[in-house]
Amino acid sequence: MGTWHEYFKAEGTPPEWPYPIKFGEESEYETDVVVLGGGIAGCWAAISAARSGAKVAMFEKGDVRRSGAGGPGCDHWCNVPGNPLSRVEPDDWAIQEMNSLGDFSNGIGIQIQCREDYDTLLEMEQMGGKIRDDKDEFVGVEGRDPETKLMFSPRYSVDGSLAPAEGWGKPGFNPPEKRNNTVIRIWGSTFKPILKRECKKLGVNIIERTMATRILNENGRQGARVVGATGINARTGEFIIVKAKAAIIATSGSGFVYYFDSEHGGISTMYSRNQTGDGTVMAWKAGAKLTMMECSGASRFSGGLRHKWYTGGGDASYENVPLVDANNKRLPAPIQGWEDGGAMFSPQARIIAQIREGVKHGEYKLPFYGDFAAMKPEEAHATWDLMLNEESTTKVMVKTMTEGGFDKYSDQIMNYTLIEMQPSQQYRDAGSGGGIMTDWDLMTNVEGLFAAGMSTYSPGDHSYAAATGRYAGRKAAAYAKRVEQGEISREEIDREKKRVLAPTKRCGGIEWKELNVGVNRVMQYFASEFKNEEMLNLALEEIARIEENAVPQLFALDPHKLMRSLECLSIIEYAKIALNAMKERRLSSPKLRIERQDYPDADPEELKNYLALHLENDEIVFERIPIRFWGNMKEQYEAHNQDYTGVYKG
């Protein structure tokens, strides 16, 4: 019982749309700071802006309580070198992080994370989030500190251990006294409802079930300072206008530029459908600089009907769980445990090749298993009931498998790593690692426009999103105190309203799913692993044809489908930005995840620069900005944060 078809069969008629339809109607609000996206970064931004005295409004496509990639939970608070048991200094750790990420990642955000992540975590605890084993449920588990009851994670416990470090797996490789203690295990499934509660307590105007569609520039001039934002309610179709002095983009990245499955559109390990790059595109149209948009990596995570990472799709990255073959023989793969410093093996071509050879020659028998039964019982307990029970979409896996009879002490989860985790080159993450550029206030080149979380060109950590959101919130509030509200342009609003409502004027033509897969195909054929000038031009021409022929046929039968349709328009714009950036980067570089047949090498000078691009009068302007343009991270952070007061005191 419960499906639409069952209802129809029982009633003989479809249910009427359950919310009032308000196409064409408008609501207007006025605030100091408007936050776009109520995920992890967005909530923290709203809370810290409100605590800094600003009036705050926040758009969110879903319900803030569980929205975003971090809505269901999070079990790793990454990069907390400021915690009392850390063996590294925050400033040194930030440099180490930048080194391990290569030259291309957001050093400003990482410095902020390393400096303020522990304060952010303590504020999470203040609000009621669980960050330590206060009930002594995990006594005896490795990494648990009996004094503070903080639980350190094996993940990344050796410097730069995204890949196996030298000597991994050998006895004594990662002894307790040498671990960096920079990742803390937490009970993150409690966090998002608490963040929402706090937003409400602070009087944040939460505009839920509403997709933000445009940043408003002063007098409608691209590049001019921020004066507000618009949105469309995905249940009623009402058009929302928010006048604001500052805006913070916290909409995360884009999951659907290269792949989307029109039948099973939602299934994905890392993104829900709501993350479609809207914020990046809104910033772009407002005149903000983007960078690293030329990068695209083959996606290793499942989308469509592939097994999710933890139900067997991934490496045995269920922390500490050894991967074995059908005869219980250990595979030569790291397990994200203490013995290998928390390394992943799935991106390691050498290890995958070694396992494949072993399978071919009968050394390893299929299928493989994640061997919970081989673990010390207390470690199996911690992995199952703490890590997996808290790490986001894995909570329901723990629930359903436990109810279905799985026993963490005696069973092994079947693993399809060699099938599901092998990247198909055409299924890529667009602009992977790319996004919005900011200064030390996390403000973009557009005055009053800030960005935080995964919408900046950054790593995909929950704690990064929290710390940068919190930081952007207080900076935006300070900015809003200094300026007057600017003029919004009614003409710009009318144009935007017409654009967003256009698909509701038709009830036949091309539906959003077809449009999405149509764009995906262009990207898969012409901008996949290997690229060249002609291919990229072909892609741009095809997208121009899609815009000319298909977009005017886009139809939406109700406000929900309207939101999905508008997301496709973001995806088209995102694809164009990426293609233009790929064309402009005439080089091949693993660091930038770009391979061009016509430019197989890289000019070392070019590799010392970010490629930034932005719009001026709707024309693309390219710019080379030196890597590490942010200067000395420690000094710059300190210069910009002399008034920072640490953990919130109420």
Ligand X SMILES: Cc1cc2nc3c(=O)[nH]c(=O)nc-3n(C[C@H](O)[C@H](O)[C@H](O)COP(=O)(O)OP(=O)(O)OC[C@H]3O[C@@H](n4cnc5c(N)ncnc54)[C@H](O)[C@@H]3O)c2cc1C
Residues forming the site for other proteins (CB under 8 A): 1-5, 7-12, 15-18, 61-63, 65-68, 71-72, 189, 209, 234-235, 263-268, 271-274, 305, 307-308, 311-312, 328, 369, 371, 373-374, 392-393, 395-397, 399-401, 404-407, 410-414, 560, 564
Distance CA 526, CA 537 (A): 9
DSSP of 30-80, one letter per residue?
E-SEEEE--SHHHHHHHHHHHHTT--EEEE-SS-TTT-STTSS---EE---
Distance CA 578, CA 320 (A): 38
Q: Which of 47, 70, 296, 477 binds ligand X (CB under 6 A)?
A: 70
Distance CA 78, CA 38 (A): 21
Tell me, residue by residue from 554 to 583, as one string, x for binding to ligand X by CB under 6 A and - for no binding: ------------------------------
Q: What is the nearest approach in angstroms of ligand X to the Cβ of residue 192?
A: 8
DSSP of 66-116, one letter per residue?
T-STTSS---EE---TTSTT-SS-HHHHHHHHHHHH-S-S-HHHHHHHHHH
- Does 74 bind ligand X (CB under 6 A)? Our answer is yes
Q: What is the dihedral of CA 369, 460, 391, 115, to 10 degrees?
A: 130
- Does 397 bind ligand X (CB under 6 A)? Our answer is no
Out of ligand X, other proteins, none, what residue 453 binds, judged by CB under 5 to 8 A for its kind, is: ligand X
Asked if 471 and 48 touch (Cβ cutoff 8 Å), the reply is: yes
Out of other proteins, ligand X, none, what residue 36 binds, judged by CB under 5 to 8 A for its kind, is: ligand X
Q: Which of 443, 465, 493, 539 binds ligand X (CB under 6 A)?
A: 465
- Does 97 bind ligand X (CB under 6 A)? Our answer is no
Measured CA distances, 604 to 276, 433, 601, 612 (Å): 33, 21, 9, 17
- Does 208 bind ligand X (CB under 6 A)? Our answer is no
> With CB under 6 A as the contact rule, which of the stretches 101-109, 388-396, 516-524, 529-537 interacts with ligand X?
388-396
Contacts of 11 (CB under 8 A, 6+ apart): none
> With CB under 6 A as the contact rule, which of the stretches 31-39, 115-123, 497-505, 551-559 interacts with ligand X?
31-39
Of 108 and 582, which has the nearer Cβ to ligand X?
108
Q: What is the nearest approach in angstroms of ligand X to the Cβ of residue 336?
A: 11
- Does 67 bind ligand X (CB under 6 A)? Our answer is yes
**Which amino acid appears at position 421 of this protein?**
M
Of 267 and 483, which has the nearer Cβ to other proteins?
267
- Does 75 bind ligand X (CB under 6 A)? Our answer is yes
3-class DSSP assignment, residue 264: coil
Tally of CB atoms within 10 A around 261: 18
Of 310 and 372, which has the nearer Cβ to ligand X?
310
- Does 157 bind ligand X (CB under 6 A)? Our answer is no
Distance CA 580, CA 537 (A): 9
Out of other proteins, ligand X, none, what residue 528 binds, judged by CB under 5 to 8 A for its kind, is: none
Peptide bond into 367 cis (omega under 30): yes
* Token pair for 337: 């445990």
- Does 142 bind ligand X (CB under 6 A)? Our answer is no
Q: What is the nearest approach in angstroms of ligand X to the Cβ of residue 184?
A: 10
